[in-house]
Structure 1
């Protein structure tokens, strides 16, 4: 009975901490034994963790498509899409520019690479980034079904927008089809609730495997770089975003952060903004009170192009690599870094390994050796998890600001401090009632 009273957030935190503890104990004791590697690290933990992430990814495409079609068809004036898109892209680029500016400033102040004698003969083969023109062309799907099968988020967004607009314009057939999509959306959200119920176990497996494999010696050699990136990420997520939210909307940032705990924990454990889209959308709609016509567009777009966490890593990494190699960068170089990273967040959207591709582009623009990426890649996994949590916070912050500006925000839902708790408890009760069907004897 006591366990049932724990909120979803509490259970996820317990699962995360337990996973970290088990992983650390294994790393410090018997991590190298065949039994642990075969049956735990690469066996049970890997299976449970990857099934959890795959289950999240399973819901992303249908949820994004259905939610965006419904959101678009709910707009009385399709011209609003242009305004929404302009606001969303503008805010995402603005926060990315702010993020990398703060990161570069902090790195210049702390100087994490000064006096370090790291090896410089490491190699790193960076993928070539597509041109901006190719990205724009690739946004239009030649085969929507193939785009959904490959999880190409920009192509899915474009097709869903066009489909939703067409539903609005055809009249009664569109209304009938809208009812089908609403039922479909209800079923998908129920799947999200079911998955949230088993999330603590998936998070436990992910954390246990990560920390059992983690090389603490690598982190120790790059401790100053690691801590600087981590602190700047936390500052951006817990200070910059709340200040922007307060400045643009006047809403209470503490309530905002409190309601984001589940989404942040999911993002941290999965290290994937796309995998966390179902939870982010549920948070924006049901906890923050943003109407689906806004959140269904801004959340998937943010998961694709909002790279604030990655920009912070790039800012610190650029200064760090320059200091390690003894290369002095000018003020103009740093301005080029800010501009390149900000624009590249859109230009490389949806490309696998986007963070490293963007960093390679930035280093090339200012004449730094791309192989310097190999110096920091060993500690990037933990930082990637934190970056994802920050990016998700940014997605929800921009979504809330746009919802407020468009009159599509239910402030009563946002300001209700217990709304998220009520949702979690009702979800738990609902799941338990479906998983424990009464037998004839009962």
Structure 2
């Protein structure tokens, strides 16, 4: 069980304020020598669970998607739209996030968000040949030791597909193992996040010692706005999908989905918004059997904003440390973000933030130390995540229903 997110946010604010007060007092070195080990230990506690948790959730998520695809034509149409929108989500962030950061640059004070000066060194971007060779790891354990997330992610994706081809008894044994492994990792992460206020306080205290509280606050506001903007693109795409493919008037769709959006904003939970989404589908006169099948499945396996906003975080940190965002680097991030989004199933924001963005950052050669601080403000971008996800779920339901034939409403009113 984790503490409320506001406690973690409180630890962030307290650390920044206290660090700003201590700055220039002459005791900075002594204070930093106490805070730094605490923050480092907490960060490592998060890092040690990334690979086993990603492996378990990825295997379970892909197995669930394959099982859904076998359910019939409606499921395959729905999964087709899920694929299209997830690819669009990642591409949109890869294109627009760098442009946004060029238009509204990160301040120099933002460099203090890094855990140490060594992380400021830009990492070498591999060539195309090295990239292709790295897709398959000759030694899985060596890849795990080096946190080579791209070959690990691809391996567990292939493993999940292979498990679904095994006889029922054998496949179920392996799925139960990965389910148990994931649950155990979630318990450990729960313990680590219970200490989040202390860990974030220690990290934020060190940040304020290096840059001052004002600079850190300004950086976090800039981060929240730019990352949330990528979720806004997905939100607009949901309206576009409903209008162009679902053939629903924009005003009519906006009115129908508004109650579900209100629940999404207030709860920050797609699962809690499911009854309201079903009501929105009824208002849009979508087939009841389509809505009853697509919306619960979408809540379980579809996170439209995950590639866009997770990529945005990795791009933000990459820009922060001076890593060159080549097409190959961005393509790597998109590939991992797409696969990882399948495993981000109904987890609290603080947990999904770490396991979803960590592998993307590692695959792109981006340091993950800043994530330990950014998780403290995740509750704010998470509002946009849930809002756009819920809206896209309804839009995908409309597109899937339209693919099944006419809904009985020939004239779509505005």
With normalisation by structure 2, the TM-score equals 0.56
Asked whether the equivalents of residues 241 and 396 of structure 2 are also in contact (C-alpha less than 8 Å), the reply is no
Q: How does 1:312-327 map to 2 (within 5 A)?
A: 312-327=308-323
Aligned mate of 1:301, from 280, 297, 301: 297
Distance 1:399 1:347 in 2: 21
Match of 1:344 among 329, 340, 343: 340
Unaligned runs of 5+ in 1: 1-26, 28-77, 153-215, 418-442
Does structure 1 residue 292 correspond to structure 2 residue 288?
yes
Aligned match of 2:81 in 91, 96, 102? Answer: 91
Cα deviation per residue 1:21-77 (whole Å; 9 max; x = unaligned)? Answer: xxxxxx9xxxxxxxxxxxxxxxxxxxxxxxxxxxxxxxxxxxxxxxxxxxxxxxxxx
The 5 A counterparts of 1:107-126 are 107-111=97-101, 112-113=105-106, 115=108, 116-121=110-115
- TM alignment of 1:125-274, pairs within 5 A: 131-132=156-157, 220-237=218-235, 239-274=236-271
The CA deviation at 1:403 is 0.8
Q: Is the 8 A contact 2:274 2:299 kept in 1?
A: yes
Give the whole-Å Cα distance in 1 for the aligned partners of 2:288 and 2:70.
14
Give deviations 1:291-311, integer Å, cap 9, x for gaps: 221112211121122222222
Partner of 2:356: 358
Deviations for 1:220-248, whole angstroms, at most 9, x for unmatched residues? 332222112223322331x3222222222
Give the corresponding residue for 1:390.
388
- Per the TM alignment, residue 88 of structure 1 is displaced from its structure 2 partner at its CA by 1.2
Give the drift of 1:376.
2.0
Q: For the residues of structure 1 that align with 2:304 and 2:107, how far apart are their CA atoms?
A: 25
Q: What TM-score do the two structures reach when normalised by structure 1?
A: 0.53
> What is the match of residue 330 of structure 2?
334
1: CA distance, partners of 2:271 / 2:158 = 24
Query: Alpha-carbon deviation of 1:251?
Result: 2.2
Alpha-carbon distance change, 404 to 219 in structure 1, aligned in 2, over 3 angstroms? farther
Report the RMSD for the aligned CA atoms in angstroms. 3.6
> Is it true that 1:276 corresponds to 2:273 in the alignment?
yes
CA positional deviation for 1:415? 4.5
Q: Is the 8 A contact 2:270 2:390 kept in 1?
A: yes
Counterpart of 2:199 in structure 1 is none
Q: CA deviation at 1:290?
A: 1.5
CA offset at residue 347 of structure 1? 3.7
Question: Match of 1:409, SS?
Answer: coil
Change over 3 Å in CA distance of 1:381–1:258 after alignment to 2: same
Does the 8 Å CA contact 2:318/2:325 hold for their aligned counterparts?
A: yes
Counterpart CA distance in 2 for 1:97 and 1:227 is: 23
- Displacement of 1:249 in angstroms is 3.3
- Check conservation: 2:85, 2:304, Cα contact below 8 A: yes
1:366–1:80 distance in 2 versus 1, CA, 3 Å: closer
Which of 79, 82, 85 lines up with 2:72 in the alignment? 82
Deviations 1:261-307 (A, max 9, x none): 110110111111112112212221x2111122111221112112222
Unaligned runs of 5+ in 2: 1-12, 14-67, 117-146, 183-212
After TM superposition, give the deviation of residue 389 of structure 1 in Å.
0.9
Aligned counterparts of 1:119 and 1:374: Cα–Cα separation in 2: 10
